[in-house]
Amino acid sequence: MAKKIKRAIISVFDKTGIVGLAEGLSELGVEIISTGGTAKVLSEAGIDVLEVSELTGFPECLDGRVKTLHPKVHGGILAVRNNPEHMARIKELGVKTIDIVVINLYPFKQTILKEGAELSDAIENIDIGGPAMLRAAAKNYKDVIVVIDPEDYGALLKVLMEAGDLSDIDRLRFSQKVFSHTANYDAMISAYLRDRVEKDCLATGNGPGFEKLMTLTFEKVFDMRYGENPHQEAALYREPIPYPGTVTAAVKLHGKELSYNNINDADCALELLREFSGPAAVAVKHATPCGAAVGKDAYSAYKAAHDSDPESIYGGIVAVNRAVDLKTANEMSKIFLEIVIAPEFNEDAFEVLSRKKNIRLLRLDIGKTCDGHNEPHSSGYNEHRGTSAPYKELRFKKVSGGLLVQSANLITIEKANLNVVTERVPDGKEMDDLLFAMAVAKHARSNAVVLAKDLIAVGIGAGQTSRIMAAKVALENAKERAVGAVLASDAFFPFDDCVMAAAKSGVTAIIQPGGSKNDQQSIDMCNRHGISMVFTGIRHFMH
């Protein structure tokens, strides 16, 4: 049976559609209660409005901080209509029921995204009264219709005009939507303040560690046709406070919608690309690199990355950190690529690539290196990467019944900190290749071994269950290009078998973390074959 709807309170920051809703409610005989700016807008539209201060008998105060936090508001919302004691009590107190609550909140997100926004600006845009009324109405959803989304105004009016009331399930749906929204709002505030605390702690060298309670919030970008496989449902969500240079910040210029696997692979490509400050290109297939190179420009970098593994790159993702010109576009167009990501596409380059209807072209400002060092090391490897991360960036992995959380692997290898453990010392060119190879290995699935020569990954062995198998895969992929190449391993050698295999293929230098009880065996084997070896002391597992 339809409930008699007599009274609505409307207080919104976003005024979209609010006049039409209020007019419709007024036509249905609903009394409109409102506050401040909303009341002004509705009055100017010719709608009769009762100011909240008239309802409560108490003026708005403290620069508008206190408006609706009053028993005549919350009592009217929270009273349970079929509870005789509730109804007798509010009658005794002179409180009238409120049957519809229409509210949206102060623009906290928009405020903190403004350039130059201060902490004080953010604090002033934390809504207090709005969430209190929303939560009260959502709790009492059986008696109070609560609406937070302007997109629901039309549907609400239509049902009220046709049926006089919402169904119980629609009331519950609106209630759930409110709790999701306020949870998101609070989580966003928490995340922003946590970042501020992180920055202060990093400045003092006193990290706060992981929180006892962790609340995450994300906003849906779009639904996908399917997930990793056609029988799996999927959607893309992004963090409400976006990070520049990430895949969710990319602008799609051409091509069909991105798939689950597209986005996962693109993220892997961008993570590796950020290791380099010189002109670089990387190719990713099935969430692991299949090509990477640093060159003198976008064309030479892409061509070399393609030649890292011409078979695997087919149908892969390519990311470059320089504008794509016509020469590079013509080269890219020779094979099928799922995605090309670049900071810019020259007009003629875009025209060439966009002829392929199935390719996705994404523009993304890869940005400067994180601490402003734009001059590349001779290897193109960014030795400064991660040293000025604004706070402790986190990585998450969902497991059944829980969540694994760790800080991002932003550590970098400084050439000055490398430990040469063999009789032979790497020359300058080898050292550049070693740093490059290890940067690639850092982003290849473990166990990972990478061969490189002339700042090109010539052989990648990733995702293997033994170190020697990873080495064999990398050496097999490199074939004759292994001669004169260097080798990087994401973790230590448990035995000297990897060195033996590398020596047979003509590898001249090796970089690895060290730390095995059998390190000396590997060192001895290197000395026997005239191979130089350096230890980093840093492991780069990625599973």
- For the stretch 348-391, pLDDT in tens is 999 999 999 889 999 998 864 333 333 444 455 554 343 334 34
In a domain, 290, yes or no: yes
In a domain, 433, yes or no: yes
Q: Indicate if the pLDDT at residue 3 is higher than 50.
A: yes
Band (53; pLDDT cuts 50, 70, 90): confident
How many Cα neighbours within 13 Å face the side chain of 32? 27
* Domain ranges, residue 323: 253-387
Q: Residues 438, 383: one domain?
A: no
In a domain, 210, yes or no: no
In a domain, 196, yes or no: no
- pLDDT number for residue 466: 95
Q: Residues 107, 16: one domain?
A: yes
Into how many domains does the chain fold?
3
- pLDDT number for residue 390: 39
Q: Which residues are catalytic?
A: 139, 286
- pLDDT number for residue 206: 63
Torsion (CA) 513, 519, 521, 523 in degrees, nearest 10: 50
The two three-digit tokens of residue 371, written as one number? 């601490």
- pLDDT number for residue 1: 37
- Of 190, 211, 238, which residue constitutes the final position of a domain? 190
Question: What CATH number is associated with residue 128?
Answer: 3.40.50.1380
Q: Residues 30, 163: one domain?
A: yes
Question: What CATH number is associated with residue 464?
Answer: 3.40.140.20
In a domain, 199, yes or no: no
| Cα–Cα distance measured from residue 318 to residue 353, given in angstroms and rounded to the nearest whole number | 13
Kindly give the residue spans of alpha helices, DSSP state H, lying in 205-346: 260-273, 298-308, 326-332
Q: Residues 14, 141: one domain?
A: yes
Q: Residues 482, 335: one domain?
A: no
Q: Residues 448, 376: one domain?
A: no
In a domain, 467, yes or no: yes
Band (191; pLDDT cuts 50, 70, 90): confident
- Of 148, 168, 190, which residue constitutes the final position of a domain? 190
Beta strands in 337-416 (DSSP E): 339-342, 360-363, 394-399, 402-407
Q: Residues 19, 146: one domain?
A: yes
- pLDDT number for residue 301: 97
| Mean pLDDT (the chain, rounded) | 89
Stretch (H or E) spanning 509:
strand 509-512
- pLDDT number for residue 381: 55
Radius of gyration of the chain (CA): 30
In a domain, 227, yes or no: no
Q: Which of the two residues, 37 and 526, has the higher pLDDT score?
A: 526
CB 192 within 8 A of CB 122: yes
- Of 155, 190, 225, which residue constitutes the final position of a domain? 190
Q: Residues 274, 355: one domain?
A: yes
In a domain, 153, yes or no: yes
Q: Residues 75, 114: one domain?
A: yes
Q: Residues 327, 382: one domain?
A: yes
pTM of the model: 0.82
| Cα–Cα distance measured from residue 10 to residue 91, given in angstroms and rounded to the nearest whole number | 23
Q: Residues 442, 353: one domain?
A: no
Q: Residues 366, 456: one domain?
A: no
Please give the full DSSP string across 466-496, using - where no structure is assigned.
SHHHHHHHHHHHHGGGGTT-EEEESS--SSS
